[in-house]
Amino acid sequence: MGGSQTAALCTRVGKARLFWEAAVALRLGPIFSNGGTALQEFQNKGVLITGAGRGIGKRLALGFAAAGARVGLLARSKAELDLTKLEIEHNGGTAVHLRADVRDVESLRSAVDRMRAHCGDIHILICAAAMQGPIGSFLEAPNRQWVETIETNLVGVSNTCSVVLPEMVRVRRGKVIVLSGGGGTKPRPGFSAYAASKAGLIRFVETLSEELRDHNVQINCMSPGGTYTHMTDEILRAGDKAGWKEHEDAMRIRITGGVAAERQIGLAQFLASERSNHVSGKLIHVEDDWKRLENSNVHPEIFTLRRLLKV
């Protein structure tokens, strides 16, 4: 693909992504006015969301704000944070923007202190901050970019949990949701750093759930499904490096917008509610029949990463 063609594609995909983000805000707008069933459940609850300036993190921020929560928006981009905060407040919600880098524990600690000063206790933590990292063969991937992806996606979640969890353990109450993604449960050629970081997250969450079991704090991984975000644009720009299947899937998601925001918000709100107090250490995909979990026991081996002994 030539330079002019690439530039034209980037312009088109950028405009398309803005269209889908605007459509999400319009669909969620009525929720702010009537609240729905989640209004009482999350009214005045403190929800801290990393990566809240764009993509799925922003979707979840809009959804929880619509349900009456006080939302802490944490990300690196001031412009994106300002826009998300403006959209929430325009619709009558409450939000505070917290500029910080999840790789920097001290900046996280300062952001969490500001959130508690403005919004009170943090009842729910959602870790959505992530980067896709280098696309293409592992042997050709710049080492610095590969390491940065692990630091952001895996170490960033560890850092955030280390800052937020102690208070949750002290008060014996809390919910943590960590976003998983493509490559977490199966190989994803061309995306080695992203896949490795997401697989690591799943095991981290399962291990942490065991450590938190006696403290009434639940932590789960949520797989949100294909969604039109800036990562979709990166795949389209990468062309052949991403592989034909990834490129084809990205084109489809660009056209359709991917999984509806309402479905992702619905799963996140279930995992953040008391209805899921018996669910912890699990990886749950938005396409799973997760609603049945509300009134049933969860088998220890289901919704986990395990080695197959028979096929």
Residues assigned a catalytic role: 194
How far, in Å, CA of 258 to CA of 94, rounded? 27
Place of tokens 């014996």: 172
Cα separation, 93 vs 69, whole angstroms:
8
* CA–CA gap between residue 67 and residue 62 (Å, rounded): 9
Tell me the one-letter amino acid at 209: S
d(CA 46, CA 119): 6
* CA 83/CA 94 separation, integer angstroms: 13
| Whole-number Å distance between alpha carbons of 65 and 101 | 22
CA–CA separation, 132 and 146 (whole Å): 10
Q: 230-238 and 3-34 are packed helices; what angle lies between their axes, rounded to 10 degrees?
A: 160
Contacts of residue 246, defined as CB under 8 A and 6 or more positions apart, other chains included, come to: 190, 191, 235
DSSP 102-128: TT-HHHHHHHHHHHHHHH----EEEE-
In three-state secondary structure terms, 233 is helix
174 and 125 in contact (C-beta within 8 Å)?
yes
Phi then psi dihedrals of residue 136, to 5 deg? 130, -170
